[in-house]
Amino acid sequence: MTEFLGGKQQPCQPTSLICDFICEARKNAENLMTDIFICYDAQDKAIRNQVVQSLSRYAKTCWTYESDIQTGADYERAIEQGIENADNLFYFISPHAVASEYCRRELAHALQYNKRVVPLLIAPTPASAFPEALQGLQYVDFTNNTCQADYDSNIDDILNILRRDHDYFELHKNLLARAIKWETENHKLAFLLRGHNLDNAQTWLRLNDKREQYPPLPLHQQLITASEAAKGQLGTDVFLSYSRTDADFARFLNTTLQEAGKNTWFDQESISTGVDFEKEIFKGIDSADNFVFVISPNAVESEYCEREVNYAADNCKRFITVLHRTIVPNTMPEALRKINWIDFQATAFEKSFPELIQAIELDREHAHQHTVLQQRGSDWAENNRSIDFLLNITACANAESWQQIALAETKQPVPTVLQTDFIIDSRKAIKKANRRRNLLLTSAVVGMIAAGILAVVAVYQMEEAKEQKNHAEVSEKKAKEQTNEALKTQSLFLADLSRQQTEQGNTTNGMLLALEGLPKPSSDEPRPYIIEAEQKLYDAVLKHTTSYAERFVMEGEGALYSVAFSPDGKLLATAGKKGGIHLFNATTGKRLHTLIGHTSSISHIAFSPDGKMLATASYDKTARLWEVSSGKPLETLRGHESS
């Protein structure tokens, strides 16, 4: 009815009765929700019927107060629910409608919930008379039609509007209806979103929260946020299995269960668009603690219901049956024949319903644990029985206790083979892990003991090494002291020999012996300082220089002002009053060079550290550098103010 594929002869047009039947079937299957709420005045009924009939040709469902308010229902609340449960509100603009208080209230209610409003001008009406909310909206104009083609063009315009953002407005409607129930029922957990519905709602909100026209409501946000906060905490108490013929009863039963605080899985609320229908049905059965079957002739003959019952039986679900319409007993599915039903046909609903609640709550913890273990066991089986999906120690102990009690007290539903295998393998894995842990613990303890022993040995060895080090340091100190004493004795002996040589006139040997008894800075083991050795060196030098001085004086140089020995003691330099500088072999006393250059007395004379140069300072206010080996002057330094 919605699309025709070309290339073949177009099928015959469906009759009005067929269109109405299909549209009513859609309403029934979609929890009485519709595509369009028709807002009109009773005097415009003819054009309304024409438009509704044309739209039904395309399977578009419309809500009108004449056909959709059930007997005995609150009229005003039924109108409000009709608006809340529709994707769009079509406002039929006419002089009668713009003056109608009912139409005004219906429009206000639609705008309160951000419903898409589509104006249809069906009779000439001054624009100034339009409701304020409609004055900025483009309308579909039926007043200028002159032929059927014009009318058909208007219907095409309406269909194009309905196709635009259809998915957004459909989910807007579904979430709003659930949010209103949740708010009306004091935020009962049974009305929160779960699974695919929650995922789709979160995506829908994230993509449209900045939408300018007809945006999501704060109520949408509150429902989704509360559902996200409760994610993973909500179990399913009841899965409802029924024939589509009994949808009215099933829908009422589902709503009443939710109002009683029971979390239900109801296909009209729990299956998202575009998913595998049967797969979602089976997942719903897996998640439910109880399988409630609505008995009727159509249900027991339905192949869909039969598959649902068989799947639930294979998973040992607890069955609860409710009789809605009388059947022949032997037509019941095999798995349900031994189950006593709760009679909702011969007994008033308000009397039978408490019995249903009591059956649901019987052994509730046992039934819920059965569901949890079956789901976890299924996950384990689907993942090649990987150990990653097995129970931990606490969960395994609880599962074993649950299984023992269930078998001992023959509780229903009974543990399944899958659950038994799951529990056994979990226990095996725990024992294996314990053995491995104990082995590791033993190894760790042995390692710790060995480490402790090694630590004690290490401490002992460290203390022993420390003691040996201290002993070595003491021995080294004592040896050093003994060496120093021996060197002191040797230095004293050398000083005495120096004295003897000096007294005998051998001053050079006296100086060398005295030098041997004094510390040498470049030595690895410096000799201790002995003042006696220094004194004998001084005596030898004095005696030695005196003999040279005598020779120097005798040779006509006059008084000596300065003398110096080369670093190796082999050369002696003398300088006197007359400015002459002489270099002697310190051993033989032979003159080597006479250095001429200063014009006044020499005040200071000194060898360089390597003994290759000689520096002199004179009262002539100059300093000179000489080459020792040749006696030649190297450089004259001037500028001194005094010597």
pTM of the shown model: 0.56
Residues 619 and 643 sit within 8 Å (Cβ to Cβ): yes
Above 50 in pLDDT, residue 637? yes
Q: Residue 243's pLDDT is what?
A: 93
Q: Residue 537's pLDDT is what?
A: 60
Evaluate whether residue 130 is within a structural domain: yes
Transcribe 453-479 into DSSP letters.
HHHHHHHHHHHHHHHHHHHHHHHHHHH
Evaluate whether residue 70 is within a structural domain: yes
pLDDT digits (tens, 9 = 90+) for 345-404: 999 999 999 999 999 999 888 988 898 888 898 889 889 989 898 889 898 999 889 888
Paired sense of beta strands 581-585 and 591-595, if any: antiparallel
Average pLDDT over residues 232-257: 89
Evaluate whether residue 109 is within a structural domain: yes
Above 90 in pLDDT, residue 166? yes
391: which 2 tokens? 């129970």
Above 60 in pLDDT, residue 496? yes
Integer Cα distance of 173 and 201 in angstroms: 12
pLDDT averaged over the chain?
Answer: 86
Find, among 45, 31, 36, the residue nearest to 94 by Cα. Answer: 45
pLDDT digits (tens, 9 = 90+) for 33-52: 999 999 999 999 999 999 99
Token pair 């005045």 is found at 41
Which DSSP letter does residue 100 get?
-
Q: Residue 474's pLDDT is what?
A: 84
CA dihedral defined by 255, 258, 264, 267, rounded to 10 degrees?
30
Least confident piece of the model among 71-85, 220-234, 486-500: 486-500
Residues 6+ apart with CB under 8 A from 366: 402, 405, 406, 411
pLDDT digits (tens, 9 = 90+) for 428-470: 989 988 888 888 888 888 888 888 888 888 888 888 888 888 8
Q: What is the CATH number of the domain that holds 620?
A: 2.40.10.480
Integer Cα distance of 244 and 29 in angstroms: 7
Greater model confidence, 509 or 135: 135
Greater model confidence, 227 or 538: 227
Q: Residue 554's pLDDT is what?
A: 42
Write out the H or E segment, with its range, that includes residue 602: strand 602-607
Average pLDDT over residues 114-129: 95
Transcribe 373-410 into DSSP letters.
HHHHHHHHHHTTT-GGGS--HHHHHHHHHHHHHHHHTT
364-382 and 277-287 helices, crossing angle to 10°: 130
Domain boundary, last residue among 135, 164, 193: 164
Radius of gyration for the alpha carbons in the chain, expressed in angstroms and rounded: 59
pLDDT digits (tens, 9 = 90+) for 557-615: 555 667 788 888 788 888 866 777 888 887 776 888 888 888 888 888 899 999 999 99
Evaluate whether residue 131 is within a structural domain: yes
Judged by DSSP in three states, 573 sits in: strand
Q: How far is CA 161 from the centre of its chain?
A: 44
Integer Cα distance of 508 and 520 in angstroms: 19
Q: Residue 448's pLDDT is what?
A: 86
Residue 576 belongs to domain spanning: 555-638
Greater model confidence, 634 or 639: 634
Find, among 525, 516, 520, the residue nearest to 491 by Cα. Answer: 516
Integer Cα distance of 517 and 497 in angstroms: 10
How far, CA to CA in Å, does 291 sit from each of 172, 266, 430, 464, 603? 30, 11, 34, 81, 128
Neighbours of 524 (CB within 10 A): 5
Evaluate whether residue 597 is within a structural domain: yes
pLDDT grade for 524, boundaries at 50, 70 and 90:
low
Transcribe 483-508 into DSSP letters.
HHHHHHHHHHHHHHHHHHHHHTT-HH
Evaluate whether residue 25 is within a structural domain: yes
Give the number of residues written for the chain: 643
pLDDT digits (tens, 9 = 90+) for 498-507: 778 777 777 7
Q: Residue 521's pLDDT is what?
A: 55
531-554 and 507-516 helices, crossing angle to 10°: 150
pLDDT digits (tens, 9 = 90+) for 404-415: 888 988 888 888
Domain boundary, last residue among 164, 188, 203: 164
Least confident piece of the model among 179-188, 508-517, 581-590, 604-613: 508-517
Evaluate whether residue 79 is within a structural domain: yes
Residues 575 and 602 sit within 8 Å (Cβ to Cβ): yes
Integer Cα distance of 40 and 102 in angstroms: 9
Residues 431 and 387 sit within 8 Å (Cβ to Cβ): no
**126: preceding bond cis by omega (within 30 degrees):** no
Integer Cα distance of 519 and 525 in angstroms: 9
Residues 270 and 197 sit within 8 Å (Cβ to Cβ): yes
Average pLDDT over residues 1-25: 74
Q: What is the CATH number of the domain that holds 97?
A: 3.40.50.10140
pLDDT grade for 553, boundaries at 50, 70 and 90:
very low
pLDDT digits (tens, 9 = 90+) for 85-105: 999 999 999 999 999 999 999
pLDDT grade for 76, boundaries at 50, 70 and 90:
very high
Integer Cα distance of 225 and 220 in angstroms: 9
Q: Residue 482's pLDDT is what?
A: 79
Q: Residue 436's pLDDT is what?
A: 87
Q: Residue 556's pLDDT is what?
A: 41
Residues 592 and 572 sit within 8 Å (Cβ to Cβ): no
Average pLDDT over residues 233-238: 85
Domain boundary, last residue among 164, 196, 222: 164
Evaluate whether residue 307 is within a structural domain: no
Residues 6+ apart with CB under 8 A from 210: none
Neighbours of 30 (CB within 10 A): 17
Paired sense of beta strands 86-93 and 116-121, if any: parallel
Could you give the percent of the chain with pLDDT greater than 70?
Answer: 90
Integer Cα distance of 268 and 441 in angstroms: 56
Residue 187 identity: H
Average pLDDT over residues 192-209: 89
Domain count, the chain: 2
